[in-house]
Structure 1
Amino acid sequence: MTLIVLTKADLCENLTEKLIELDEVAIGVEVVVTSTYDPQSLDYLESQLLAGTTAAFIGSSGVGKPTIINYFLGKTILETDELINDGKGLHTR
């Protein structure tokens, strides 16, 4: 199963436009829109990750991959940083 997860939806000014663009190239792929401020969407995403399967979290620096993984684990395992002035995450070393 393939999922595309759009994170930080609360920071996107033109989400509908982005979803339309994505729908044109990711035909038949489920898209989950989420934000750390929307636990319901994170819970749904977590329910799609079946026990015993492998998941890959890929994306640009600052999109919230460690934050989502920490949410799933229920504790901070992966270090995260505050947002920098452009609204994007700061790569944590």
Structure 2
Amino acid sequence: MSTNREPEASEDMLESIDELKERLSSMKRMMEERKATGSGSKDLFQGHARSLHGTNMIDGNFLSFVFGGSLVVILSVSVYAFYNLYHAVLKKFPSSHTEL
């Protein structure tokens, strides 16, 4: 039985190799056509970016505003926490003044 499977497997492998060769040659042709028309790989992504450019609501200025606001909130909460911690430590361990 193993002799029957081996030829089938090799035929399937040859068919898949032939399909891969055909795909590779078609991709090469497509790339040559793109180079001939002057559109490179950059245009593939720029075309997509151009179509999304009008609908993109989040830009650099908005992100700067959001991250700046987050930084202000984090800094203010940190200052508030350390201020309360400082006063709690002073309340727990009051300093005794001996100079009077």
TM-score for the superposition, normalised by structure 1: 0.18
Q: More strand per residue: 1 or 2?
A: 1
RCO higher in structure (CA 8 A, sep ≥6): 1
Bigger Rg over Cα: 2
More helix by share: 2
